[in-house]
Amino acid sequence: MTEGKASVGILGAGTWGMALARLLANSGKDVVVWSALESEIEELSRTNSYHRLPEMKLPDHGIRYTTSVQNACECKDIVLFAVPSVYVRETARKAAPFVPSGQIVVDVAKGIEDKTFKTLSEVLCDELGDDVKIVVLSGPTHAEEVAVDLPTTIMAASSDMAAADFVKRTFSTGCMKVYTSTDVRGTEICGAIKNIFALAAGISDGLGFGDNAKAAIMTLGIHEMNNLGRHLGCQPETFFGLAGLGDLIVTCMSPHSRNNRCGRLIGQGVPVDEAVKRIGMVVEGINALTPVVRMAKKYDLDMPMVLLLFKIIKGQITPHKAVDIIFSENIDNELD
């Protein structure tokens, strides 16, 4: 691997995948971006721009676009998964014939697989084999800011520190600083669950509440994230670092967050399905809710905010009723 000319195949042409494609190409990497949507690849190839990030200027050279999974995966130093969490297994299955033993595989999707409770790195190992070197890249990183070179920090977590260090060197630029960790599961749990609390923060905004309420949501959020992580054997410091507290703050506070924007619409009275439709992109917090609720119940964990939000999203209670429950003395009974 020659780091100055490292080659990266990116599976997924969404906002995060495209922002990273630009960052890598601008730092001299050879990048291939894959999408299953022919219309998306045609537009990228024809316009050399991405409509969801209108302020981003893509380089004239360094990025190629393809609908061939084989072209995106073969002979690459890094294969990066940037598809929505619900498509990670399907995409990995397509990629598996072209991913060799020992391949460095980076996951930037955030979620937990429904029913299996598996993190996305575990899903990738299921489909690609245990001998690939998985690195989870996660942290407080809005694509909209990375796309215009605003200062950003991120965590590369892997059980293989040589792979994590290679990813660190590959992705580090004048505006992106990469740290490393061995706590893969903790990093993934943080990335999945913080989206849930961003929904809650958005609902609070939609109800017209202020900073006091949002601070309470974030404080309870980090507590509930840590409860789950501790049960799963994660490192406590992960939840109070970039992947945990850092990502929670940026996702709950920023108008760039689609989870926050979706929650705001719900708080304003927009039905959940309509709110998701208006966002126009995958709202990962909603996808994460069901498996996290099942895990909380299975392991008998104290996660009342998650359970309340689940009831709101499923239409079992209104946001105003949820507030009444929070301030009641019988919250445990209300959540049974």
> Which residues are known to be catalytic?
194
Rounded CA gap, 305 and 198, in Å?
12
CA distance 134 to 107: 7
> Whole-angstrom Cα distance, residue 220 to residue 308?
12
CA distance 30 to 259: 32
Phi, psi of 238 (to 5 degrees): -60, -40
DSSP state, 80? Answer: E
C-alpha dihedral over 326, 330, 331, 335, to 10 degrees? Answer: -140
Separation in Å, CA 172 to CA 27, 28, 177, 243, 280: 9, 12, 5, 17, 31
Q: Tell me how far apart the alpha carbons of residues 130 and 217 are, in angstroms, rounded to a whole number.
A: 38
**Residue found by looking up tokens 């796309």 in the block:** 147
Q: Which residues pair with 176 in a beta bridge?
A: 152
Query: Dmax of the chain from CA atoms?
Result: 61
Tell me the chain's radius of gyration from C-alpha atoms.
Answer: 20
**Helices 184-206 and 211-231: crossing angle, nearest 10°?**
150
Helix 304-313 × helix 284-298 angle, to 10°? 130
Task: Select from 260, 255, 135, 148 the least CA-distant residue to 194.
Answer: 260
- CA angle at 223 for the pair 221 and 224, rounded to the nearest 5°: 65
Rounded distance between C-alpha atoms, residue 260 and residue 204, angstroms: 10
* Token representation of residue 110: 């955030």
